[in-house]
Amino acid sequence: MQRCPELRKLPKAPKISSILWKYQNPGSAAQLIFYSRSSQPLDPTHPAANWNPRGLPQHITNGLQLRAIPVALLDTPQHSFSPFKRPFVTWNERVQKAMDAGVMGVQAGRQLNIVWKQTGQLVGNTQIYSEDDQDLLRRTRLEGRDLNPASPLFSAKLQRAKRRVPMSLFIVTSKAKMGSLRCRRKTIASRVKTALNYIVSRGAYFEQSSKSSHDNADAHKAANSSTEKKARSRPTGVKFDSSKLAPGRQLVLQGWSYIIHLTTEVYRMPYAQLIFLLRNALSTVNAKAIEMENNWLAQSLLYKQRQVSQKLKSGTELSKSGWSAPLSATSTDERAGEPDSEPRAPCTPIPPSHATKTRSTFDSAAWRRNLTSQLKLLSEAEATVAAERN
């Protein structure tokens, strides 16, 4: 195994101390690992609840495969014990947080976008989350025993938790592919976590030798062998730069779980190459995940905006027509014994039935359509008036 001397005696991390692994998986990924849908997802209202897991973001490279799956698609645990007691943000809460942040959905043809209400600018390829949300910090960055606000050390723990990035991670190892030695599988998983910590907390990236592009003629003559070509193409060093720390959560997304499938190739892989592969995989998967999430969010925001506009429109029509009280959408059988304390909706009368066989000009389909539209209008008006009273 090749050593990396640049990883020795590292200074203290500038902004982010480490990744928080514990108590970040509110459900199980046993079925999703094998590309099967969850039988009982945590949030059935999520837009991707009925999706095929193969259509979610994934990236395959040498020695590993990285996948991103919404936390809402994890299986609901049979036994609700720690760490499965950890709460998570549902999709309805996610949409509400986006609306509170001041965004709205816009549709231009077939393209859906999210824009800021004040400026009208596009949100772009970023997640809409409040980084300083105290409730979110309590839920995702503190362990269960540290969630007591009355504790005298709560503020100190909260400040320390702000420097940790929570990440829901599932590492998949197999005896058939990686051997029966458990110590080897544990070593491979530990190397992956260490490389992820370097990337997220210190902005680790690879840097090739400057001689690779400015070699002299002797170096070009000596590059005939395949071994020397491979050695020159490999990253020769790991560098740390705080400016390469992605703002917000572009490296570790909130509301998403990561699944990593590993092979024995990672066991002897140098850290420089492992950091290079993991950083590229994270960037690729996160870009696809953010694009999907913003598209789902735009659809949900547009749906809510249409609901609000329809309620306002129905309320305006009722005020113009002169109706002063909300109308109930119950059937005539249920209201047969009730007094006529409220005005009824106008509808086409049903012609009386005759004993003799005569042809009737009554259009039952038109009457049914008219009745359905009137009942729908009355139910929306009643909901609007009830909301205004509350």
Q: Could you read off the pLDDT of 123-137 as tens digits, one per residue?
A: 878 787 655 455 555
176-205 tens-digit pLDDT:
888 889 999 999 999 999 999 888 888 777
**Structure-model confidence comparison of residues 176 and 148, the more confident one:** 176
The three-class DSSP label of residue 127 is: coil
Q: What is the largest CA-CA distance in the chain?
A: 111
* Residue 120 maps to a domain: yes
Peptide linkage before 83 cis (omega within 30 of 0): yes
| d(C-alpha 210, C-alpha 17), whole Å | 31
**Unique residue bearing structure tokens 């309805």:** 92
In this predicted structure, what is the pLDDT of residue 196?
92
Residue 304 pLDDT > 80, yes or no?
A: yes
Q: In the structure, what pLDDT confidence band is assigned to residue 223 with cuts at 50, 70 and 90?
A: very low
* Residue 380 maps to a domain: no
**Unique residue bearing structure tokens 């009722």:** 318
User: Which range, 20-29, 216-225, 311-320, has the best average confidence (pLDDT)?
Assistant: 20-29
* Residue 324 maps to a domain: no
Amino acid at 9: K
* Residue 372 maps to a domain: no
* Residue 317 maps to a domain: no
Mean pLDDT, the chain, integer: 75
Enter the tokens of residue 259.
Answer: 């699944």
Beta bridge partners of 67: 58, 259
232-245 tens-digit pLDDT:
444 457 777 766 55
* Residue 390 maps to a domain: no
User: Which range, 85-89, 219-223, 271-275, has the best average confidence (pLDDT)?
Assistant: 271-275
Enter the tokens of residue 214.
Answer: 């400015």
Average pLDDT for residues 149-166, to the nearest whole number? 75
In this predicted structure, what is the pLDDT of residue 154?
73
* Residue 57 maps to a domain: yes
In this predicted structure, what is the pLDDT of residue 26?
86
Nearest CA to 18 out of 151, 163, 125 is that of 163
Q: In the structure, what pLDDT confidence band is assigned to residue 52 with cuts at 50, 70 and 90?
A: very high
Q: In the structure, what pLDDT confidence band is assigned to residue 82 with cuts at 50, 70 and 90?
A: low
In this predicted structure, what is the pLDDT of residue 232?
43
Q: Lowest-confidence range among 17-26, 301-310, 324-333, 376-385?
A: 324-333
Average pLDDT for residues 346-373, to the nearest whole number? 59
350 CA to centre of own chain: 53
Residue 104 pLDDT > 50, yes or no?
A: yes
Amino acid at 379: S
| d(C-alpha 174, C-alpha 165), whole Å | 28
In this predicted structure, what is the pLDDT of residue 333?
43
Kindly give, in sequence order, each residue whose CB lies less than 8 Å from that of residue 296, ignoring residues fewer than 6 positions away: 47, 48
In this predicted structure, what is the pLDDT of residue 241?
73
In this predicted structure, what is the pLDDT of residue 41?
92
Q: Based on the structure, what is the number of domains in the chain? A: 1
**pTM, whole model, 2 decimals?**
0.69
Q: What percent of the chain has pLDDT over 90?
A: 24
Nearest CA to 18 out of 130, 126, 160 is that of 160
In this predicted structure, what is the pLDDT of residue 65?
95
Nearest CA to 207 out of 234, 225, 229 is that of 234
Q: Residue 247: which domain range?
A: 5-208+231-304
Q: In the structure, what pLDDT confidence band is assigned to residue 310 with cuts at 50, 70 and 90?
A: confident
Residue 373 pLDDT > 60, yes or no?
A: yes
Q: What percent of the chain has pLDDT over 70?
A: 67
* Residue 379 maps to a domain: no
Residue 342 pLDDT > 70, yes or no?
A: no
Kindly give, in sequence order, each residue whose CB lies less than 8 Å from that of residue 359, ignoring residues fewer than 6 positions away: none
Amino acid at 90: T
In this predicted structure, what is the pLDDT of residue 132?
46
Average pLDDT for residues 35-48, to the nearest whole number? 91
Nearest CA to 88 out of 135, 155, 134 is that of 135
In this predicted structure, what is the pLDDT of residue 64?
93
Distances (CA, A) of 101 to 72, 98, 106, 114, 117: 22, 5, 16, 12, 9
